[in-house]
Structures are given as C-alpha cells and as structure tokens.
Amino acid sequence: FRFKDSLAEDLRKADLVISHAGAGSCLETLEEGKPLIVVTNEKLMNNHQLELAQQLHRDGHVLCCNCSTLVETLRSMDLSTLKPFPPGQPEKFALFLDKVVGFQ
C-alpha cells in the first residue's frame, strides 16, 4: 500500500507481513503477533529505519533484508525462529514520568 488510513484489518487477516522499516509499521505488526519481513531502504539519509530493523532482527523478532535479497529471504525463511514481541507496558512509563515530574 502507498497509504491507507488503517492497516488493522489487513494485519489481522495476514499470515505474513512484508513492510518497510517504519517504526509504526513494525510495531503495529509485531503487536498483532504477525511474522514480519522488514525490507530496508539503504538510500535513506540518517537511516533510523535500518537501525530499527537491525535491532529487531538481532532480538529475533523480524527477518530483515533489502530489495535485492527479498526473494532469497522468502525462499529460505524459517518463521518458526521468530520470537514473539513483548507487549508494551505503558503503565511503567507513566510511573516513570510521574516520578520525574514530581507527582510521586
């Protein structure tokens, strides 16, 4: 998709997601518990997407490739090696923030 208001329904139906390495796309897919192949764009300046993709790959949550290695990644992938992404804990951040600003 170039743009869509929400991918939630598509993600729920998906068996596999192939996406760019945008933080929102990655996290939304991983929170839905779907296997994810992240295709990095090596031409981006200050490539934070590459950093995110590499860290998620090192942590075992995604498969990572670029456009030229996507076909080989699809041929050789073993989705059983992927680790579930731990759920967010916003209450921990709220407690931290309360402490920092003096509400505790």
pLDDT reported for residue 101? 79
User: Looking at domain 7-97, does it have CATH number 3.50.40.10?
Assistant: no
69-93 pLDDT, tens digit per residue, is 999 999 999 999 999 999 877 777 7
Matching residue, tokens 């600003």: 101
Order across the sheet with 17-19: list the strands.
Answer: 17-19, 36-40, 63-66
Say what angle helices 48-58 and 23-31 make with each other, to 10 degrees.
30
Domain locations along the chain: 7-97
pTM of the model: 0.80
Looking at per-residue pLDDT, the higher value among 79 and 6 belongs to: 79
